[in-house]
Structure formats: structure tokens, C-alpha cells
Amino acid sequence: MQIYLPIAEVSVNFFTLLGIGGIVGILSGMFGVGGGFLITPLLFFAGIPPAVAVATSANQIVASSFSGLLAHLRRKTVDIRMGVILLVGGLIGSGLGVLVFNWLRALGQVDLLVRLCYVIFLGIVGALMLAESLRAIRRARGGRVPSKPRRQRNWVHTWPLKMRFRTSQLYISAIPPLLVGLAVGVLAAIMGVGGGFIMVPAMIYLLGMPTKVVVGTSLFQIMFVTAFTTLLHATTNHTVDLMLALVLIIGGVIGAQFGTQIGLRMKAEQLRVLLASLVLLVCGKLAFDLLLRPAELFVIGGVGG
Amino acid sequence: MSRTLPIWAVCLGLGLGLGALIGTASAREDVVLGLSQNRVQINANFDGSEILIFGAVKREAQIPATPLEAVITVAGPSAPVVVHRKARRVGIWVNAETVQIDSAPSFYAVATTGAMHSVLSYTEDLRHAITVPRAVRSVGAEAEDPASYTEALIRIREADGLYATLENAVVMEQQTLFRTRIALPSNLTEGGYQVRVFLTRDRQVVSQLDTIIDVRKVGLERWLFALAQDQSLIYGLLSLVLAVLAGWGASAGFRLLRG
């Protein structure tokens, strides 16, 4: 069954789009990542123009993260206070990111920068997570299960402006979460994603938040940042395709519910190994594209003016 | 087909009647054209379309000895296009060079009664911009090899089904009736699609006729497109509201399912 998309101006198979939405929804519910780093390349493969794919996936992430967020809110696994602070940083960061993005576009080569950003960040984050979670699994297999979760204490715990985050069982300065949100916002604007794949590890390893609240809190922040991005794209570039978004959302919201259930039944370490492998897989694919000689040396850019 | 035949008959009849009325310029041959549809409506189910282009040749004099050939082109709206060429820099493939092609149609198909070189001379092709490379205009590109960019654009768009050269696709009967079918792909842009019919004899154009097929979105597609362009803030907010509603709906629905 074909469906014609009014903004993308292409006709695509309805079930292909539904499937893409579903896969990304499952990931979103399981890991608390928006899935932007996956949905955008998948939409390219389906034949959607890049500008429309980026803008519309932001809109779809709003829906899937909201659906996932509701499930987490009921289980009280969202640290709203932490989420708000991350969000304030995120909105400032994405504003800055858009400025940086436009400045780089004026210089040319913004495509390359985006790809390099993907390869570098996905590579670092994926490798660190994989190594850490494999260590954790080996520790658990060794039978030496710690009676109390180890409270990470590192340099960020010595900063001023301390706040109590009851849901996260943390008493730390507000500055590190603000900076994490800010950095993620900048990267999100440049890379056109929600930024969950960077924020989730940052919350676990930098802020020392418990894994079970990380996912819900991340979804909280992602929802608002992507809503902001959607509005920016809709008003400046007119590239949000509502029809495409709706099909992706239908697949996505259903997927997110399944994903949340799967996520709650799995061990945190296993979840992290899976996410790390996925991140590394996407990173490898993008790195290969940059390193291998392409079959077609020419590419058609956007319509010039 | 059954629906289009009467129109065809009317066109032919009208053409012959007009010819009889004028009845002067004896050597002239004129095209009388019919289209299976003069507008293409893009709705939510749109999955490409096929137009039947047919017609007749109206003439006073005897049919000359040299055979009559027909060349039919369909061209979508033209726009400038940017083409990048990749090159290896410090081990990675980057867009090294960029050329702007002045004007390229979003869709272009040319159908003929025979091999291109046997029905059309080079000068006539230049004059009327008939073949695909002629339809893409590129002037004053500052790259090393500007022609390779135009070739690449044509190669990529041919692979996407947007550009096509259909030799032997026009059927010509008794040097008087001709017809062809042109497939319009699903990734069509809006606008006026120009249809041109050339009659050639001895590789020279002896007659030409132009008409326009109107391609536009209708219904929901039209409404969404207009809203996104004219009321972008409302459109953006609407997409957010729908996203949140869908998210909430799915969450509530699944809770109901589990009791």
C-alpha cells in the first residue's frame, strides 16, 4: 500500500514507514533514547529527502518519548527536578547549536561535520558503555553481588549550589546537570537528534544517577527539546511532513509501549550492552561510508537558489 | 483507453474539418493533439500515473515520400540544482567540489518513433532542446570538468526514473496517426508539465505543438501543503498536539488492554 507524502513529495510504502516507526519506538521505550540517530538514516533508505527526514523524525520522537514517559511516570521512575534542570541547559544549548550550525553551513562542509560528529560521539560513547557494562556482567557472574549499589563519588560532587534530587537519591550541585543538558543540546542541534544516546551515559557515569531513573528522566528532557526543534523546523524550513510523522508515530507509540515492558524485565547491564552494541553498529556503518570509495562520486544537493 | 477514444475521434474530426476550411498552405503538416488527461491529481493514494499522448497529422497535400517521424517530450518544472563531487581528503570521502547547474527539469521524458540520431538532427536538437542532455542547461561552471556534473545529474535522475529516453516508443500509423504512453513516477513535484510534439521529416522539424498538463495536489495533501507554507506556526503546533495525543492515546490504550 503506497502513501503519498505532501511535504516530502514522494510516494512510499505505508508498512515500511510503520515498521521504521515501530523499531525506533521499541528502542525508545527500552533505552530512553529518542532514536533520532537511527530513524533519520532509515528514512533516507526509504527515499525521503534528508531535510524532511530530519525535521519529521523530531516530531515523531516527541510522540514516542511522551508515550514512554507516561509509562515511566506511573512507575515513578522520572526525576522531574533533574529533568527540568537538564531541560534548561538543553534549550540554551540547542539555541547555541543552531547558531553554530548556521555558521558552519556558511563555511560549507556542514555534512561532513555532522557525519564526523556522529562517528566520534557514537564511537566513544558506545565503546565506553560496552566496556563498562561487560565488566559489570562479569562481576555479577563472579557471584560477588554488592549488597548496596555503589555510590559513585567523583569530582562533580564537590561543586557548589548543591541540590537534593530525591528520586535519584543524589545530593549534588546543579551545575553538572545544567552543563550536561547544555552540551547535549548543542550536539543535538548540530546532529539533528534528541541526544539520548549521549545523555543516558552522561547521567549514569558523570552524575551517578541510578539506571532505573535515567531512562524516564532522559525521555522527559528529550520530549521538550525535540518539540522545540520541530517548531523551529516547521517555521523556518517548512520541512515537517505531518502525514509521514503520523504514520511513524502510529508505529512508534505502539513500539514504545512494548519497549518499556521489555526494558523493565531486563537487567540494567544487559540493557547497556545492547544499547552500546547498537550505537557501535551505527557508528561503524557511518565510518565505513566515510572511508570506502562511494559507488557514485556525485551527489545532488538541495535545490539551489 | 475506451474513455479516451471518443475524444481522439473528436480531435481528429475537428482537425480535418479545420484543415478543409483553411485549405491553403498545401505543403504544411499540422499536429492535432489529444491527451488521456490534461491534469494529474496527487491525492494520498497517488502512486505514479500514466498519460496517453495521441494525435493526428493534418495535411492538404499528398504524403511526401520521406517518412514522417514524431518526437514527444514531457518536461516538469525547471529549477537550479547543486551537484557535489566527492574526493578523498585525509583518508575520508568528502564533498570536494560543487557545481550549480543553472536549470534542470524535475522530470523529463522524450519518446520517439525511431533511434534518436535517425529522427532528429544535431542542429534541430540544439534549437529546440529536445534530448535529455540538451534539456539540462549548464552555463559557466567553474569546475575542472563541468560536463561530468551534468552527466552525473542525468545518470542519477535516470536511475530514479525521473529522466527517460524512450526510443521507438511512439507508434506512427500511415504517417497520420501517432500515440505513446509516458509513465509519471510517484515522486512527482507540482507544477505545469510541458508536453511538446515535434514532427520531423529527413531529421528536420516540420511541425511543433505545445500543451501543458497541470500536476497538483488535491484534498488533504493540498490542505497540509498550504498550511505548512502559509501558517507554519499553526502547522508546527498542530503536529506537536497530534504527537502528544498519539503518545497519550497509545499509553492509555495499552493500559486498558492489560486491564
Residue A148 gets which letter from DSSP? Answer: S
Report the alpha-carbon distance of residue A223 to residue A243 in Å, rounded: 20
In this structure, the answer to whether residues B75 and B139 fall within a common structural domain is: yes
Contact check, Cβ <8 Å, B240/A230: yes
Band (pLDDT 50/70/90 cuts) for residue A108 is: low
Residues 272-291 of A with CB under 8 A from B: 289-291
Q: Residue B189 sits in which domain range? A: 4-217
User: HSE-up of A132 (CA within 13 Å, CB side)?
Assistant: 15
A38: domain range?
2-140+154-291
pLDDT at A175 over 50: yes
More confident position, B46 or B211: B211
Tell which wins on pLDDT, A224 or A1: A224
User: Do residues B228 and B137 share a domain?
Assistant: no
Q: Which residue has the higher pLDDT, B179 or B48?
A: B179
Residue A34 covered by a domain: yes
Residue-wise over A128-140: b if at least 16 C-beta within 10 A, else e?
Answer: ebbebbeebeeee
The tens digit of pLDDT for each residue in A90-107 reads 888 877 877 777 676 666
Contacts of A38 (CB under 8 A, 6+ apart): A23, A24, A27, A278, A282
Between B122 and A51, the higher pLDDT residue: B122
**CB–CB contact A4 B44 (8 Å):** yes
Residues B122 and B240 in one domain: no
Q: Same domain, yes or no, for B68 and B110? A: yes
| pLDDT per residue as tens digits for the range B162-197 | 999 999 999 998 888 999 999 988 878 888 999 999
Which three cell numbers, joined as nine digits, stand for A141? 557472574
Task: Compute the distance between CA of residue B101 and CA of residue B137 in angstroms, rounded to an integer.
Answer: 7
Asked whether the predicted pLDDT for residue A224 surpasses 50, the reply is yes
pLDDT in tens, B95-146: 778 888 888 999 999 999 989 889 999 999 999 999 998 888 876 656 677 7
Domain co-membership, B155 together with B251? no
At residue A44, does pLDDT exceed 80?
no
CB atoms within 10 A of CB B142: 9
According to DSSP, residue B195 is labeled E
User: Within this chain, do residues B246 and B191 fall inside the same structural domain, yes or no?
Assistant: no
Q: Between chains, do B88 and A293 touch, taking CB under 8 Å as contact?
A: yes
Asked if residue A167 belongs to a domain, the reply is yes
Task: For residue range A251-263, list pLDDT tens digits in order.
Answer: 887 887 788 788 7
Residues B210, B196 contacting (CB under 8 angstroms):
yes
The pLDDT value recorded for residue B123 is 92
Distance in angstroms (rounded) separating the CA atoms of residues A151 and A250: 40
CA distance B73 to chain A (A): 23
Statement to judge: residues B115 and B157 lie in one domain:
yes
Which of B234, B251, B256, B258 should one mutate to test binding to chain A, selecting the residue with the greatest count of A CBs within 10 A?
Answer: B251
Domain count along chain A: 1
The pLDDT tens digits of the residues spanning B28-45 come to 888 888 888 888 888 887
Which residues from A are below 8 Å from B237, CB to CB?
231
Residue B22, pLDDT > 50, answer no
Q: Do B234 and B168 share a structural domain?
A: no
Q: In this predicted structure, what is the pLDDT of residue A148? A: 45
Whole-number Å distance between alpha carbons of A73 and A63: 15
Residue B153 sits in the same domain as residue B190 = yes
* Range of lowest pLDDT (A84-88, A138-142, A148-152, B57-61): A148-152
pLDDT tens digits, residue range A56-93? 888 888 887 887 788 888 888 888 888 898 899 988 88
How confident is the prediction for chain B on average, in pLDDT?
Answer: 82
What are B79's three cell numbers?
A: 529549477
Q: Considering Cα of A206, then A209, then A210, then A211, what sign does the dihedral take? A: negative
> For a pLDDT cut of 90, what percent of chain A falls above it?
1
SS3 B91: coil
CATH of the domain at B177: 2.60.40.3880
The pLDDT mean for chain A works out to: 79
Cα A77 to Cα A167: distance, rounded to the nearest angstrom: 7
Assess whether B177 and B60 both reside in one domain: yes
From chain B, pick out residues whose CB is under 8 angstroms from the CB of A69.
Answer: 247
Q: Looking at the structure, tell me whether residues B31 and B150 fall in a common domain.
A: yes
CA dist A216 and A73 (Å) reads 7
Half-sphere exposure for A35 (CA within 13 Å, toward CB): 34
Q: What is the pLDDT of residue B40?
A: 86
pLDDT at A10 over 50: yes
pLDDT for B205: 92
- Say if residue B71's pLDDT is above 90: yes
Contact B250 A253 (CB under 8 A): yes
Q: Residue A108 region, left (φ>0) first, then alpha (ψ -120 to 50), else beta?
A: left
Residue A176 is predicted with a pLDDT of 83
* Domain count within chain B: 2
Judged by CB atoms closer than 8 Å, whether chains meet at B86 and A59 is answered as no
In this structure, of A295-304, B55-64, B144-153, B170-179, the range with the lowest mean pLDDT score is A295-304
Residues B231 and B135 in one domain: no
- The answer to whether A215 and A143 are in contact (CB under 8 A) is no
* Mean pLDDT, residues A128-136 taken together: 84
| ipTM of predicted complex | 0.75
- Three-state secondary-structure class, residue B17: helix
- 0.80 surpassed by pTM: no
Mark yes or no for CB contact B186/A63 under 8 Å: no
Amino acid letter for position A189? A
Which residue in chain B is spatially nearest to A288 when comparing CA positions?
A: B92
Considering the domain boundaries, does residue A298 fall inside one? no
